[in-house]
Amino acid sequence: MSDQKKILIVDDVEANRFVLRNIISDMGYLPVLAENGIQTLKIMEHIKPNLILLDVAMPQMDGFELCGILKNDPLTREIPVIFISAFDSPDDITKGFSVGGEDYITKPFIHEVVQARVAVHLKIADMNHDLQNANRKLALSVQQQLKQMEQEKKNVLYALGRVARENSSYDVKHMERLQHNSRILAQAMQLSPGFESVISDLFVETIELAAPLCDIGNVAIPSAILQKKGSLTLLEQKVMETHTTIGAKILRDVQEQGDYNDFVDMSIEIANYHHENWDGSGYPERLKKDSIPLSAQIVSLVGAYCSLTEERLYRRAFNGSQAFEILEAEKDTKFNPELFDICRKISTQFI
């Protein structure tokens, strides 16, 4: 069938290729076999697989190097890569994620595990494809509405934010609180010598519109991860962290369809960088201190406050004082200390 999903299996050991071939065939997909990285690149000149099962230890070009090449090519970077390896140390697994791999399966293969991982990542890839199509349609709608009135612009983009909120099981007033409190903090910063030169009235108005879209990327994260009560596994954490870049990509897709002033620019900044930390320990780019966009710093702090003061599946809500006692421990590490001090002083104005 022309629409049958193709799974590219890359392994220099013939026995491994045949085992994986049988597993993939049992799932109803079409296995395509390659012995090494060079052969893989030649095959991909003619076909575009839906997913790649990639061995790490291969002659000439190992799996990490091949994955880096694929992820740096616009034509292949969206293809999910699952590493298959006998190496199971944390360093090897972390390296697999750092070069762009979506998952890591250790040998010997467990039939059910391989099937489950392949199914999950094919589903995520389909969701991303559907999102891209939805984004293109949405962009046309947003472009027309932005030309009509500012309120319609808010309504359309907030609808996306609500989808992300519902997927995360956040409080129904989460977006409203994030919006209001970000504006209050930005206004307070206008009166501070350290920020008055960079916080304009336009900045205040824009961050009020943009802040609720910070977690829009959660629309692509499985609910089982977003709503998990216990600690996330390494794989789950890596998947969770992609909501920042996914969110920024969604907004860039909208941006490419028209010139929408500072609103989308700031929304992209916030979505992409609101999990960066003041000491450089955050993600996705490990930005540090003032290299983190100020809009993202504001939403990071306000978002943390809002989350702590809202009830979650796994805990009760804290009051404002308790929330700031908790956040105080992350001053100088996660949050800009000057920004934190301003926030605490004006927190009585928060909702």
Q: Calculate mean pLDDT across residues 319-342.
A: 96
Question: Is residue 317 domain-resident?
Answer: yes
Q: What is the pLDDT of residues 48-104, one digit of tens each?
A: 999 999 999 998 899 999 999 999 999 999 999 999 998 888 999 999 999 999 999
How much is the pLDDT for 256? 73
How much is the pLDDT for 111? 92
**CATH code of the domain covering residue 40:** 3.40.50.2300
Q: What is the pLDDT of residues 301-312, one digit of tens each?
A: 999 999 999 987
**CATH code of the domain covering residue 160:** 1.10.3210.10
- Residues 155 and 108 occupy one common structural domain: no
Does residue 1 register a pLDDT over 50? no
DSSP structural state of residue 7: E
Domain range for residue 63?
6-124
> Average per-residue pLDDT in the chain?
89
- Residues 68 and 118 occupy one common structural domain: yes
Q: Calculate mean pLDDT across residues 207-230.
A: 89
User: With contact defined as beta carbons under 8 Å apart, do 81 and 70 qualify?
Assistant: yes
Q: Which region among 25-29, 35-39, 314-318, 333-337 has the lowest average model confidence (pLDDT)? A: 314-318
Q: What is the pLDDT of residues 253-299, one digit of tens each?
A: 877 765 556 788 999 999 999 999 999 999 999 999 999 999 999 99
How much is the pLDDT for 274? 98
- Residues 101 and 241 occupy one common structural domain: no
Give every CB contact of residue 95 below 8 A, 6+ residues apart in sequence. Answer: 64
- Does the predicted TM-score (pTM) go above 0.75? no
CA 214 – CA 175 distance, rounded (Å): 10
CB atoms within 10 A of CB 124: 18
- Residues 117 and 157 occupy one common structural domain: no
Length of the chain: 351
Question: Is residue 76 domain-resident?
Answer: yes
- Residues 341 and 297 occupy one common structural domain: yes
